[in-house]
Amino acid sequence: MRTHFTRRSLIRGITAATAVASLATGLAACGGDSDAATTTGTGASGEVVIGRVSNGAATQTAIKVSEVTSISAELPAAVRKSGKLVIGIGALPAGFPPLAYVGDDQKTLTGSEPDLGRLVAAVFGLRAEVRNSTWENLFVGIDSGKVDVAFSNVTDTEERKKKYEFASYRQDNLAFLVPKKSTWNFDGSYESLAGKTVAVASGTNQEKILLEWKEKLAKEGKKLDIKYFQDSPSTYLALNSGKIDASFGPNPGFAYHNRQVAGTPNATRTAGTYSGAGARLQGLIAATAKKDSGLAKPLADAVNYLIEHGQYAKWLKAYDLSNEAVAKSEVNPPGLPLDNS
């Protein structure tokens, strides 16, 4: 994600973590095909199984959802007549759990992003066809019409609005990871970091934020020590040994790590979140379609239906992402500004 450091560090951090969790087989690319597709018939069954073959990244949850004709009627005629919603995921080559990766059957694309796409397709009464590609080819697919909509951790930015339209569905958050036994919590203010030693990945959005906080604290005569490690396993080792107080990085990756180490001596927890867009704006992840495609409104209406009827909360809970819930899906909400996108 060249225009947003958070996703890049998410992929880097989680990929390293998967080595610790021994998920190599579950992260194989879909046959190496840059446009591999998985078709899931959800429209007729009225049920979507969240976290299926997730290899421990989610709590498998069966969610009832059927077509809402007042919403499906809003779809462009070509999409409605096709009988399917083609969902783009940019998870090749390695995937990035818990958001999108190949499941433990080594063929099904699973994760929170494709699962939400399947729920939305069910609201439309359409068959979900999930296509996996590289990040770059994800947008090529949207531009060419091969993909109807991307559910792939795409951040809403003002730059992207020049070519795409959005329906928001999840907060774009950074988080602080601490040992489960730690009593410290981030209260949303940089002052709470005074005297702490925090790890962060170099060259990321979160590093930029942390360095700004360090400078502010220094002006107040207070200290924030920032540490850098080669990879996520090294960071987790430092956290477990007490060399650092916390690690600052993408919230989904930490949610995944918390689940992987739960019940072990190295159990961790999330000690607070912060908008990936900084203090001025809550960053948002959004379903992404070609500009003027006519898809943004029905997509937002479908997500809002899922919010209002409880399926949305069950989806987030299954992946331990409830702290990224939005109250409402919006069409083209304010995005990351041009000077920071």
CA 40 to chain CA centroid, Å, is 21
Amino acid identity at 134: T
What is the C-alpha separation between 140 and 147, in angstroms, rounded? 9
What are the tokens at 144? Answer: 């060419």
Which of 104-113, 146-155, 331-340 is predicted least confidently?
331-340
Residue 206, pLDDT score: 96
Q: Per-residue pLDDT tens for 222-269?
A: 999 999 999 999 999 999 999 999 999 999 999 999 999 999 999 999
Give me the mean pLDDT over the 43-63 stretch.
89
Residue 5, pLDDT score: 35
What is the C-alpha separation between 225 and 242, in angstroms, rounded? 14
Residue 338, pLDDT score: 85
- Answer yes or no: are the C-beta atoms of 241 and 146 closer than 8 Å: no
pLDDT for 9 beyond 60: no
- Answer yes or no: are the C-beta atoms of 34 and 92 closer than 8 Å: yes
Residue 28, pLDDT score: 31
Residue 7, pLDDT score: 43
The mean pLDDT of the chain is 89
pLDDT above 90: percentage of residues in the chain: 84
Buried residues in 36-60 as b, exposed as e (16+ CB within 10 A): bebebebbeeeebbbbbbbbbbbee
Beta strands 36-40 and 127-134: pairing type?
antiparallel
Give me the mean pLDDT over the 27-41 stretch.
42
pLDDT for 70 beyond 50: yes
Residue 339, pLDDT score: 75
What is the C-alpha separation between 14 and 97, in angstroms, rounded? 7
Residue 37, pLDDT score: 59
Q: What is the 8-class DSSP label of residue 336?
A: B
Q: How far is CA 332 from CA 10, 168, 232, 296, in A?
A: 24, 8, 34, 8
Largest alpha-carbon pair distance within the chain? Answer: 65
Q: Name residue 135's beta-bridge partners.
A: none
Which pLDDT band, with edges at 50, 70 and 90, does 32 fall under? very low
What are the tokens at 37? Answer: 């597709």
